[in-house]
Amino acid sequence: MAAVSPSPRTVEEIFKDYSARRAGIVRALTYDVDEFYGLCDPEKENLCLYGHPNESWEVNLPAEEVPPELPEPALGINFARDGMNQRDWLSLVAVHSDCWLLSVAFYLGARLNRNERKRMFSLINDLPTVYELVTERKPEKDKPNVDSGNRSRGGTKRSIDGQAKTIQKLEGESYEEDEDEHSETLCGSCGGNYSADEFWIGCDICERWFHGKCVKITPAKAENIKQYKCPSCMKRGKQ
pLDDT at 49: 97
Band of residue 238 on the pLDDT scale cut at 50, 70, 90:
low
**Concatenated DSSP letters for the chain?**
-PPPPPPP--HHHHHHHHHHHHHHHHHHHTTTHHHHHHH--TTSS--EEEE-TTS-EEEEPPPSSSS-SS----S-GGGGGGGS-HHHHHHHHHHHHHHHHHHHHHHHTTT--HHHHHHHHHHHHTSPPHHHHHTTSS---SS--TTHHHHHHHH-TTEESHHHHHHHHHTT--HHHHHHHHTT-B-TTT-PBP-TTS-EEE-TTT--EEETTTTT--HHHHTT-SS---HHHHHHHH-
CA distance 87 to 135: 8
- pLDDT tens digits, one per residue of 24-72: 999 999 999 999 999 999 999 999 999 999 999 999 999 888 788 899 9
pLDDT at 138: 57
- Whole-model pTM: value is 0.57
CA distance 87 to 52: 24
| Residues 180 and 168: beta-carbon distance below 8 Å | no
Fold category of 200-237 in CATH: Herpes Virus-1 (3.30.40)
Band of residue 183 on the pLDDT scale cut at 50, 70, 90:
low
Whether residue 229 has pLDDT greater than 70? yes
How distant, in Å, are the alpha carbons of 64, 94, 133, 156 from that of 202? 46, 29, 24, 10
Q: Residue 186 burial (CB < 10 Å; 0-12/13-18/19+)?
A: buried
Higher pLDDT pick, 1 / 25: 25
- pLDDT tens digits, one per residue of 124-141: 999 999 999 998 865 554
How is the chain split into domains, by residue range? Answer: 11-136, 200-237
